[in-house]
Amino acid sequence: MENTLGLEIIEVVEQAAIASARLMGKGDKNEADRVAVEAMRERMNKIYMRGRIVIGEGERDDAPMLFIGEEVGICSRPDAADYCNIEELVEIDIAVDPCEGTNLCAYGQPGSMAVLAISEKGGLFAAPDFYMKKLAAPPAAKGKVDINKSATENLKILSECLDRSIDELVIVVMKRERHDDLIKEIREAGARVQLISDGDVGAAINCGFAGTNIHGLMGIGAAPEGVISAAALRCLGAHFQGQLVYDPAVVRTKEWANMTKEGNLARLKDMNITDPDKVYTAEELACGENVLFAGTGITPGNIMNGVRFFKGGARTQTLVISSQSKTARFVDTIHMFDQPKIVQLH
């Protein structure tokens, strides 16, 4: 899978990031998202693959593009038999977030990325549009920290696994009212908190690399983003656990103001999620034999640069993590927009 798709997948996230970056700082998050979706879809549909969106912009009715269930790639077209040897092509599931951290992009803040994860069919958990309690930690703490334990206990475990005192730990938490108690607990336990306004995928991935000075991600973010984070962290051998959150009183967002816990539980049941309290590991959320994560920085982040435009082009940085080749590659690309066509000499 990696051999045939890897390079083209890089271009998918690069194109989405460039499109969004043109709107960086313009204050219009919907437009920053829309152009990324369009660019991602256009590039994806030029790839010889049979892809299906399992995590995307929402259900078909409210998302015109990259909606859940949408088939992408040349070999998904009705006339695919004319182009591809369909029987031989592996069917691929794709989770996308074309502009992760739309607010960050719209307001010129660090940490927005164009991201996706792919795997063979059935290899990614089709997370519903719910919230998810998340715990991410470096490889050394994998399987040792536990989302069922308190933050205080997990900080002790982290400090042992990483061989550093608790006050040397930095934990990322999204700045939300629902995290007030969690933030207080982390601080009281002696660790330091890095508050972010958005973009918990980037924060989770930072936990997978040494030298980022980020040692954990705790708190509640969106579930689809949790699956993309899990895909990256699984490939990196780092820790990720996620548990769906369905109680509006816990989430405390105005979007969920009119929802009820009972109503949400019924929605989950309709989606065949029989155990709504299940704690999923990275390996369960991204269970495929081969998993690939790709992300391009839109605005600058901790481990990746954002898109930088120059006369006639742009430069991007992309992180590609593969479970198959056990590699994390940083791909630095110069895009030449105005390059004249090379004349063929006979």
By CB under 6 A, name the one of 100, 191, 228, 293 that touches ligand VTB.
100
For the bound state, the minimum distance from the C-beta of residue 201 to ligand VTB, rounded and expressed in Å, comes to: 6
Q: Which stretch binds ligand VTB (CB under 6 A): 199-207, 271-279, 314-322, 325-333?
A: 199-207
How buried is 258 (Cβ within 10 angstroms: 0-12 exposed, 13-18 middle, 19+ buried)? Answer: exposed
Residues 247-266, mask of contacts with ligand VTB (x by CB under 6 A)? ------x-------------
Position among 176, 179, 215, 234 found at the interface with ligand VTB (CB under 6 A): 176
CB of 281 to ligand VTB, least distance (A): 18
Long-range CB contact pairs, 249-256, < 8 A, 24+: 250/178, 250/220, 251/131, 251/178, 251/220, 252/176, 252/177, 252/178, 253/176, 253/178
CB 172 → ligand VTB: shortest distance, Å? 11
- Mark residues 207-236: x for contact with ligand VTB by CB under 6 A, - for none: --------------xx--x-----------
Q: How far apart are CA 198 and CA 332, in angstroms?
A: 25
Q: What is the DSSP letter of 299?
A: S
Q: Which of 6, 51, 73, 101 binds ligand VTB (CB under 6 A)?
A: 101
Structure tokens, 334:
């110069």
Q: How far is the CB of 17 from ligand VTB (least distance, A)?
A: 15
CB distance 216 to 204 below 8 Å: no
The nearest distance, CB 197 to ligand VTB, in angstroms, is 7
Task: Please pick, from the candidates 13, 201, 282, 307, the single residue that binds ligand VTB as defined by CB under 6 A.
Answer: 201
Q: Tokens for 48, please give them.
A: 């010889």
**CB burial class (10 A; 0-12, 13-18, 19+) of residue 326?**
exposed
Phi, psi (5° rounding) for residue 270? -60, -30
Footprint of ligand VTB (CB under 6 A): 100-101, 176, 198-201, 221-222, 225, 253
